[in-house]
Amino acid sequence: CFFRCAESGVAAKVVAAVDVNTTANEIYKHNFPNTPLLPKTIEGMTLDDFNKLSFDMILMSPPCQPFTRIGLQGDISDPRTKSFLYILDLLPRLTKLPRFILLENVKGFETSSARDSLVKMLKECGYNYQELMVSPTCLGMPNSRLRYFMIAKAPPGSFSFHTTSEIQEGFPQPADKVLLEPSSLISPNHKEDEGGILYKLERAQDAERKISQNRDQSLRQISVYLEDQGEGEMEQYLLPTKTLLRYALLMDIVRPTCRRSVCFTKGYGHYVEGTGSVLQSCMETDVAFKSPERLSDEEKLNQLSRLKLRYFSPREIANLMGFPKHFTVPKNISTKQQYRVLGNSLNVHVVARLIELLVS
């Protein structure tokens, strides 16, 4: 939250950060040693505890598992919503209502009973609010990470844009006129390298959609976010032989010249399907073969190995999610732990823009 407030240009002091994830807390404390960090559940804080903090803004990211499309969608019957429901009950009883509220969750939250409870509380307290669905692609970043956001202002506050009861896609006016960075990041004379269809099982329309995304000049190339490190340093991220043979048909493969990548999840580096894109780091070859069933394992591996497919490093994923260069991780935090924390994180640039909209 500190990075997001800083980038938004809003002068703010974080009075407390609350989380039970020990790894996330260790990383947070490493970067912000002077910020009060409370390693406890929200339910472990009393009304008096909250009143003593006397905060103007609350940024919430409740557990997403009860609402994710691939989960059980237990909604408010899932015990993991307990902290969120506790906040909804507590906020109206505070001595001073927070002036600003920002909430994030996965797509699916917008149809939940938990969301209905949130809206009910906001209306009862007189908040003006707006619901949005935003992905970093709205800011020219080559990574899809669609998320639900709610921004709310306490009375008599109002927004600088027209609010609606409908969920807006992208940023509302007037912010969208300054969404993208200068076009100097994108070479107008660059000829897009689309390459051949790699060893993939995907529908023709899926392949065409990816080609179309890579032609979108409003998005920067992935190369902007890659780390300039020696080849030897990146070998640790090369996909293992067993993974190549078993999952090559399911991977989302991108190149440095691509302008797209799929959402990175906490399972990245451990699971393959649906957890994030992998990078084709060798650009000197264009392997295309459409009948892999005719090849032996040795032949398949020979073809795939030439691509030098690798995982994005945690630092590269952090770059794609807008974390500044001075954001670092303690040396004792493993690569797997970094992937898990990043997969549960938010895009810094997106949240910074929302904070700017919220307080302007």
CB count in 10 Å sphere of residue 241: 12
Per-residue tokens: 267: 């399972």
- Return d(Cα 228, Cα 220) in angstroms, integer: 17
User: Do residues 119 and 148 touch, judged by C-beta distance below 8 A?
Assistant: no
List the catalytic residues: 64
Q: Which amino acid is at 37?
A: L
Q: Hey, is 169 helix, strand or coil?
A: strand
Do β-strands 100-106 and 147-153 pair in parallel, antiparallel, or remain unpaired?
Answer: antiparallel
DSSP string of 76-112, one letter each residue:
GGSGGGHHHHHHHHHGGGSSS--SEEEEEEETTGGGS
CA–CA separation, 147 vs 327, rounded Å?
23
Instruction: Print burial letters for 114-141: b (CB count within 10 Å at least 16), e (below 16).
Output: bbebbeebbeebebebbbbebbbbbbbb
Asked if 175 and 356 touch (Cβ cutoff 8 Å), the reply is yes
Q: How many CB atoms lie within 10 A of CB 154?
A: 17
Neighbours of 45 (CB within 10 A): 19
Unique residue bearing structure tokens 């670092």: 328
Write the CA distances from 126 to 196, 254, 262, 343, 360, integer angstroms. 56, 47, 38, 34, 19
Q: How far is CA 127 from the centre of its chain?
A: 27
Q: Specify whether the CB–CB gap between 129 and 150 falls below 8 A.
A: yes
Q: Whose structure tokens read 């619901």?
A: 131
Structure tokens at 204: 């023709």
Reported as type and span, the H/E element at residue 121 is: helix 113-124
